[in-house]
Structure 1
């Protein structure tokens, strides 16, 4: 007759609209809200011939002779265009200019990149090949060969000293250019293999899908003359392995999390381990990742160490790897693609205006205002340059920001070269603040004071944009008894403690202005610590009519140790006096030291008014 307690049985299944329904015997339903999970997508752009492609890309196409374009890698500055004198054909002339530049680039398609050459590096006293370009690779030359062996096969092969630091620096520059595809972009070098990693999670729809994004990257790099292979996978390790060791990556390869088993057919070099471990695994017949994955993890660690298991887990997506972006990721950022590359600064201004307006609309939707704004211009040939502007008050007004950025553009345009045109503008606000509710004062005098303060801020912004923020300063009050430390210099755009003032009890004892440095004077005064009766300043004699003081300030307060003992008879004590002369002039004087000591005291003028 005893009753046995039995817990209710729960049944879990998916509802047709995606919600999860939890039922028990009492038919009580619990609906769990919908949730979604987006798989991470990582692109690896491998650059198998980067050291040599970099040199061709940096030097650019060169004219075959002086008659085909003059000096450098730029097309001739003047073309024979029809309707050149017509003011109504500016758009047509620009289109012809673009066509002429494109034709010039095609005309110079035969350049140094079609000539086989190798990069060499001294290793243990012998010169060995560290990199080859594509034509040399097709001839059978490979990294690691000695230069002597290479020249025995091909006596006319061109050899150039390698520049590893320049390779890394230019790879970083290319990564900055590829931020146009994803802000989470970083250069990655493993040994002698160069690549760029991009986290495109949530970005692919902006380019029409993952396939179009990969095709656009391949096409852009091909236009630069850079050989590239691309693979997209759910994690960094598998994307890198496929990009370097899967032949399909030449035309772009994308796999999902359910297709990660494809990496089992790749060689163990795709695991990014050192050469000694790879040699040991090859000696045991473990040549592919799949063969290594069949060994139990405990046995793998016991026989080869934890590094092999870690590399295997990273490649198969069981252990996450971080990607350190080459640049700070800024949430308040927009991109404005340009359909046809812009070749002139006048044509760039409307595009700038649209980009700034889009960013200000984004900030307004968040009730934020920008304190600093930056525009990045992406040239079609892979060069990126930027302009910055700062504001005194955070705001999201497009006209204000465009005016400031236009000021900076007018100044820096001489240093910048649009090259063959700009095809993308990125606008970003590195520093954005929440906007405060602005109080409107109905009193005409108070309203005029507010407008006057705003006008001062706008003036400071424009002057800072023209001659630099470091050259426009204001004085910021501080609570300090030492006269020269009662104010400090700060940028005019720094509005922190803008309404602060010197405390009244200190301000009453200070003159209207101070000299930059105290000037020595000769004075007649009562001893040992009386006020001056007469003094000689700048060859003029003054007799004191009235005075106020002294105000004693101990000079150790000026130094690094404010707790130092007060000297009894030294020049580290100042006695300040406010004096008025017989002709009505007012001075702020002080005496350093006392009469009767080892050293006679000195008198100085520190200010006046």
Structure 2
């Protein structure tokens, strides 16, 4: 594309400055993030003070502490840095709609046709630098006709960089050739690059001249290719432009020429912007403030219809909703509603929204409402197949069979709106034969009812507790008289024993007493107890009570 202009933003200290935004005192000390490379710990991003002490990215942590004893470190969280870069991606969208992320620390903006809206290319670079400074970030910019040239200018166009000659170092040459070293050709002149060191701009149509004096590392080459080029004396990009292309391809591979052509504009290199995430939100403004609960509910009802239609078009269901109320006195109140499952039916969501409305104060009046689906989940699309009427009847029968399950979901939603979804739980089967592990407690809102319960031939008590000692003779056969919880008990009938062995692959402190023989004991008091005899292991043997039948 003719007159294409690409702006590259490089944040060389992104990881460190993200921590400095959260902990401002880190700006005043040598600071670096620590990345884990296998079993070794190396420096990730470093701040400017650490750079003055001679520290650099990729340096071993032990060497860094030896060089700078005052160094303060924090762990490098890659996922948080990526999330921070995504936030900067949204900020960069104000300059152009065509923005792409180059992880882990760069953004690329296609400014074609947009620079004049901000007063020109130099002004837009200055505004980028100022915005980043306001955010507490360091940024280097490069602007050129191609992505490769802009990327190279942002990283390698140093202000004090001087061109160096071709070939190896002079101290490695023979004495006979040193006298002629001054006559050797100096690298090609730098192109028309303007702007301060942090904002490097190459004029249109001069990408190759701007790149000529830059090192070959600016071509984004693999490390082994870069080392091979330097070994034969090709240190600058201008040195490659003077070489026969066929010889470069045979020696270094086609990838070298591809990168070179992309940088100077002979080969295309598209920018693929990230697709913005789907946002499901609606708002409703009023010409006059409202304050009645019924009016607010009616407003949310109208917005809910629009929101559900949008969700259905994207095959999504709302799981978490955020209700926002904007008052005339510039106060915003909000409530979060978590649903038992992903829903797109307004008639099922609206009663739950009404439960949250009394918790928000109208104050002097409400002039705007906003409803957003903060968390959504995909829902299965159903396609009508076959005869329309027959299919509709089948759907009705299926919905009728699911009314009971739908009622449970609505009940969970109502209770969750009052008590919180974390307070509503259900039982699921556990993968263990140990009595206290045969079931587990899970959140009802995020799980389906269990259907894989396994029936046990032997009855199980209604209540279970930790084993409590029973005063009885230490023998496998239960005696008629025993003492438990400070009271005397007499057994009328006993069924058993049922042998349960411990899980030998786990060291459970409660089962160190060895295998257990469980008995179902009826007492003269009318209670039905669950007793067991522990045969002894690392702990002594004896009788214990663990449960009570209904």
Alignment of 1:484-495 (within 5 A): 484-495=436-447
1:232 is displaced (CA, Å) by 8.2
After superposition, the CA RMSD in angstroms is 6.4
1:178 corresponds to: 88
TM-superposition CA deviations, 1:7-62 (whole Å, max 9, x none): xxxxxxxxxxxxxxxxxxxxxxxxxxxxxxxxx998632459989999998999xx
2:415 corresponds to: 459
1:484 is displaced (CA, Å) by 0.9
Structure 2 vs 1, CA of residues 357 and 48 (structure 1 numbering), >3 Å: closer, same or farther? Answer: farther
Question: Paired residue for 2:519, among 577, 601, 606?
Answer: 577
1:519 corresponds to: 468
SS in 2 for 1:505: coil
Say yes or no: does 1:505 pair with 2:451. no
1:313 is displaced (CA, Å) by 5.6
1:175 is displaced (CA, Å) by 1.8
Structure 2 vs 1, CA of residues 228 and 360 (structure 1 numbering), >3 Å: closer, same or farther? Answer: farther
Cα distance between partner residues in 2 of 1:242 and 1:353 = 54
2:542 corresponds to: 602
Structure 2 vs 1, CA of residues 387 and 50 (structure 1 numbering), >3 Å: closer, same or farther? Answer: farther
Question: Paired residue for 2:494, among 536, 547, 557?
Answer: 547
1:542 is displaced (CA, Å) by 0.9
CA contact (8 A) 1:230 1:251 kept: yes
Cα distance between partner residues in 2 of 1:55 and 1:575 = 59
1:243 is displaced (CA, Å) by 5.4
Cα distance between partner residues in 1 of 2:513 and 2:73 = 60
Say yes or no: does 1:474 pair with 2:430. no
1:603 is displaced (CA, Å) by 1.1
Flag structure 1 segments of 5+ consecutive residues without an equivalent: 1-39, 61-117, 131-160, 340-348, 376-385, 412-423, 562-569
1:509 is displaced (CA, Å) by 1.0
Cα distance between partner residues in 2 of 1:254 and 1:488 = 65
1:434 corresponds to: 380
TM-superposition CA deviations, 1:86-128 (whole Å, max 9, x none): xxxxxxxxxxxxxxxxxxxxxxxxxxxxxxxx945577xxx67
SS in 2 for 1:504: coil
1:323 is displaced (CA, Å) by 9.0
1:401 is displaced (CA, Å) by 10
2:528 corresponds to: 586
CA contact (8 A) 2:496 2:519 kept: yes
Structure 2 vs 1, CA of residues 521 and 297 (structure 1 numbering), >3 Å: closer, same or farther? Answer: farther
Cα distance between partner residues in 1 of 2:208 and 2:514 = 79
CA contact (8 A) 1:479 1:503 kept: no
Structure 2 vs 1, CA of residues 432 and 219 (structure 1 numbering), >3 Å: closer, same or farther? Answer: farther
SS in 2 for 1:434: coil
Cα distance between partner residues in 1 of 2:142 and 2:534 = 75
CA contact (8 A) 1:394 1:435 kept: no
CA contact (8 A) 2:483 2:489 kept: yes
Flag structure 2 segments of 5+ consecutive residues without an equivalent: 25-46, 57-69, 158-192, 286-295, 324-333, 361-369, 383-394
TM-superposition CA deviations, 1:441-463 (whole Å, max 9, x none): 669xx957742442124424664
Structure 2 vs 1, CA of residues 401 and 266 (structure 1 numbering), >3 Å: closer, same or farther? Answer: farther
CA contact (8 A) 2:340 2:410 kept: no
SS in 1 for 2:480: strand
Cα distance between partner residues in 2 of 1:458 and 1:427 = 18
1:264 corresponds to: 208
Question: Paired residue for 1:395, among 343, 356, 366?
Answer: 343
Structure 2 vs 1, CA of residues 554 and 287 (structure 1 numbering), >3 Å: closer, same or farther? Answer: closer
1:299 corresponds to: 247
1:262 is displaced (CA, Å) by 4.9
Structure 2 vs 1, CA of residues 353 and 128 (structure 1 numbering), >3 Å: closer, same or farther? Answer: farther
Alignment of 1:196-275 (within 5 A): 196-197=107-108, 222-223=130-131, 225=133, 229=141, 231=143, 237-241=148-152, 247=194, 262-267=206-211, 268-269=214-215, 270-272=218-220
1:523 is displaced (CA, Å) by 2.3
Structure 2 vs 1, CA of residues 488 and 55 (structure 1 numbering), >3 Å: closer, same or farther? Answer: closer
Structure 2 vs 1, CA of residues 489 and 536 (structure 1 numbering), >3 Å: closer, same or farther? Answer: same
Taking structure 1 as the reference length, the TM-score comes to 0.48
Q: How many residues align?
A: 405
Structure 2 vs 1, CA of residues 519 and 553 (structure 1 numbering), >3 Å: closer, same or farther? Answer: same
1:584 is displaced (CA, Å) by 0.5
SS in 1 for 2:472: strand
1:44 corresponds to: 8
Cα distance between partner residues in 1 of 2:125 and 2:284 = 17
CA contact (8 A) 1:486 1:502 kept: no
Question: Paired residue for 2:315, among 349, 362, 367?
Answer: 367
SS in 2 for 1:266: helix
